[in-house]
Amino acid sequence: MKSVVVIPARYASTRFPGKPLVKLLGKPMILWVAELCAKAVGQASVYVATEDERIANTVREAGFRAVMTSTTALTGTDRIAEAARQIDAEIFINVQGDEPLLNPNDILEIIGKKEAYPDEIINGYCPLAAEEDPYNINIPKVVFTGDHRLLYISRLPVPGYKNTGKKPEAYYKQVCIYAFTRDELQQYHHYGRKSRLEDSEDIEILRFFEWGATVRMVETSPGSLAIDVKEDIPMVEKHLRAMQRKA
């Protein structure tokens, strides 16, 4: 099955306008992510889906492919669905453009799991890092069954507890690497609106719950840190420097 990575990159972010082009150690964040994706699937199979010519020009100048999408896409997954109409592939891997510390091997793991479970949505997760606060609403936390089917995802700490002695030993966060087929993306997009839970939590994968789709969680490498707000930049740059020293 032919697999491609599509990175949604919106310039007009509400919380952080221009985020895909923010410089991390002197290089636009979108290029950090695209280069890591290329290590997994090859540069020719990496696309950036964007509504903005500045982002498109940046990725094209670096040798990557850009797909222009609408300014009205409700979510990154809707943007991927628009892009999928222009790309010849069977499996579409959505890698969020604010994950410059992801492990390329995790992309391959997600692809392999999608090939094994073609009728299920695939999403990554890992334990929260020591410096991450489960009460941080910018970090979606996940709970899942013993066989790794997603039960719920929330910006609040889940699972909750009534007795302090029952506090979870660990919390798990969503890692924004997803796998879909073209049909799954189009069904998502044709829903035409955010679902009630999706809109409340502002977590796009919750829309799949509306028609009973199964979301299978795949554990990824620990240490992935997303940039949600400007205050996240110093910590991510610290980790990028550490990665460069090890290389």
Is the confidence at residue 15, as pLDDT, over 90? no
Secondary structure class of 47 (helix, strand, coil): strand
Query: What is the domain range of residue 76?
Result: 3-246
CATH code, domain carrying 196: 3.90.550.10
Contact present, 103 and 15 (Cβ < 8 Å): no
What is the arithmetic mean of pLDDT over 125-145?
94
Is the confidence at residue 167, as pLDDT, over 80? yes
Exposed e or buried b for every residue in 176-212, given b needs 16+ CB within 10 A? bbbbbbbebbebbbebeebbeebeebebbbbbbbeee
pLDDT band for 224, please (50, 70, 90 cuts).
confident
pLDDT band for 91, please (50, 70, 90 cuts).
very high
In this prediction, residue 243 carries a pLDDT of: 83
How far apart are the C-alpha atoms of 177 and 86, rounded to whole Å?
21
What is the arithmetic mean of pLDDT over 7-34?
92
What is the arithmetic mean of pLDDT over 16-44?
95
Q: What share of the chain is helix, strand, coil (3-state, %, to 5)?
A: 40, 25, 40
Contact present, 35 and 244 (Cβ < 8 Å): no
How far apart are the C-alpha atoms of 177 and 218, rounded to whole Å?
10
Count of domains forming the chain: 1
Q: What's the burial of 148, exposed, middle or buried (CB within 10 Å: 0-12/13-18/19+)? A: middle
How far apart are the C-alpha atoms of 205 and 56, rounded to whole Å?
25
Contact present, 215 and 123 (Cβ < 8 Å): yes
Range with lowest mean pLDDT among 14-28, 29-43, 104-118, 185-199? 14-28
In this prediction, residue 13 carries a pLDDT of: 76
Q: How far, rounded to the nearest angstrom, does the alpha carbon of residue 14 sit from its chain's CA centroid?
A: 17
Tokens of 132: 């991450």
What is the arithmetic mean of pLDDT over 152-161?
97
Contact present, 202 and 77 (Cβ < 8 Å): no
Percent of the chain at pLDDT > 70 equals 100
pLDDT band for 25, please (50, 70, 90 cuts).
very high
Tens digit of each residue's pLDDT (9 = 90 or more) over 37-46 = 999 999 999 9
